[in-house]
């Protein structure tokens, strides 16, 4: 199990992004969608007797994995460990680090590690700046312990880490120098999701269920005759739920693009 005793957490809420507190008058976070909610919210009135509870749970699980792949977000908490190269230009900009996963909820460790995973030096958690963690950005701000009020290095004995950090100025680039362990996710509460992401999961699962249901309808028309009496009926056949599927698809595509923008995951920018 991950140890979060010494981690540096974000002060803001995970969602809404950059929010400190909410009034609670509007539901923005809810439990992960269940089969019952999937039926009532997206498949209301549809006969699902041929689907068991476990089969609907499986559709939800597949939908969650698909949304994770499409958005690049961690829908549930995941702890990552990345090796970051030393780049002098990024180091001079307060150790600017862009992680591969996000949004970042907390940083458990930021250290210098050797190639055989030996811990050479661990940076103090108080120096880690989490203000841009929702954008997958971490910075190191040792201002309080290194600099005086004039903006220059303090005349008193500096922190021991300063000597180590200053020794890096002779290098331009070193591969796999920093090591960062952090936890990413879209909600601080386990088992819950922002409503908009829960909506994406539900839309995706509903589309799969409707697609499977309409594949069972083989004929466009049917007729019955007996003793000179006849009755016939026709319908869309295998395309019965296609209009509904297309409507859900259009809604999902618009919401998907907006979610990427909200969580700053639409474009990835770094230095060259």
Provide the terminal-to-terminal Cα distance of the chain, rounded to the nearest Å.
37
Q: CA-to-CA distance for 243 and 82, rounded, in angstroms?
A: 45
Same-domain check for residues 64 and 195: yes
Mean pLDDT computed over 178-195: 93
Asked whether 137 and 18 are in contact (CB, 8 A), the reply is: no
Give domain status of residue 25, yes or no: no
pLDDT band (50, 70, 90) for residue 154 = very low
pLDDT at 155: 38
- Average pLDDT over all residues of the chain: 82
Quickly count: other Cβ atoms within 10 Å of residue 138's Cβ: 25
18 three-class SS: coil
Q: CA-to-CA distance for 208 and 88, rounded, in angstroms?
A: 49
72 three-class SS: coil
214-272 confidence digits (pLDDT tens)? 887 765 555 565 655 655 555 566 678 888 899 999 999 999 999 999 988 876 666 65
Cis peptide before 125 (omega within 30 of 0): no
Asked whether 138 and 125 are in contact (CB, 8 A), the reply is: no
24-79 confidence digits (pLDDT tens)? 888 999 999 999 999 999 998 888 888 999 999 999 999 999 999 999 999 999 99
Per the structure, how many domains does the chain have? 2
Same-domain check for residues 66 and 198: yes
Mean pLDDT computed over 164-193: 83
pLDDT band (50, 70, 90) for residue 5 = confident
pLDDT band (50, 70, 90) for residue 119 = confident
Structure tokens at 2: 């991950």
- Residue 245 makes CB contacts below 8 A (sequence gap 6+) with 207, 210, 211, 214
pLDDT at 226: 61
- Is the predicted pLDDT of residue 3 greater than 80, yes or no? no
Mean pLDDT computed over 9-23: 87
pLDDT at 215: 81
Asked whether 194 and 258 are in contact (CB, 8 A), the reply is: no
Same-domain check for residues 163 and 116: yes
Same-domain check for residues 53 and 117: no
pLDDT at 153: 37
CA atoms within 13 A on the CB side of 272: 2
Give domain status of residue 252, yes or no: yes
Q: Among 164, 184, 204, which residue terminates a domain?
A: 184
DSSP state of 68: H
Asked whether 17 and 185 are in contact (CB, 8 A), the reply is: no
Asked whether 269 and 139 are in contact (CB, 8 A), the reply is: no
pLDDT at 113: 87
Give domain status of residue 114, yes or no: yes
Structure tokens at 38: 């999937």
Q: CA-to-CA distance for 199 and 262, rounded, in angstroms?
A: 15
Same-domain check for residues 179 and 205: no
- Structural domain of residue 107, as residue ranges? 78-184
Give domain status of residue 271, yes or no: no
105 or 11, which is more confident? 105
- Is the predicted pLDDT of residue 158 greater than 50, yes or no? no
pLDDT at 177: 86
């Amino acid at each position: 199990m991950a140890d979060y005793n010494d981690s540096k957490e974000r002060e803001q809420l995970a969602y809404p992004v950059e929010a400190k507190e909410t009034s609670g008058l509007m539901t923005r976070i809810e439990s992960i969608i269940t089969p019952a909610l999937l039926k009532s919210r997206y498949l209301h009135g549809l006969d699902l007797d041929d689907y068991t509870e476990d089969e609907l749970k499986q559709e939800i699980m597949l939908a969650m994995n698909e949304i994770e792949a499409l958005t690049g977000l961690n829908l549930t908490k995941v702890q990552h460990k990345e090796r970051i190269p030393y780049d002098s230009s990024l180091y001079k900009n307060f150790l600017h680090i862009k992680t591969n996963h996000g949004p970042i909820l907390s940083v458990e460790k930021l250290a210098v590690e050797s190639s055989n995973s030996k811990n050479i030096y661990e940076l103090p958690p108080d120096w880690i700046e989490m203000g841009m963690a929702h954008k997958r950005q971490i910075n190191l701000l040792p201002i309080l312990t290194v600099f005086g009020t004039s903006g220059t290095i303090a005349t008193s004995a500096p922190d021991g880490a300063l000597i180590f950090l200053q020794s890096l100025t002779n290098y331009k680039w070193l591969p796999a120098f920093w090591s960062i362990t952090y936890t990413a996710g879209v909600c601080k509460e386990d088992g819950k999701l922002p409503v908009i992401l829960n909506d994406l999961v539900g839309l995706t699962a509903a589309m799969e269920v409707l697609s499977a249901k309409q594949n069972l309808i083989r004929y466009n028309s049917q007729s019955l005759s007996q003793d000179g009496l006849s009755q016939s009926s026709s319908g869309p056949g295998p395309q019965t739920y296609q209009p509904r599927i297309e409507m859900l698809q259009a809604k999902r595509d618009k919401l998907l693009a907006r979610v990427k923008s909200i969580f700053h995951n639409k474009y990835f920018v770094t230095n060259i």
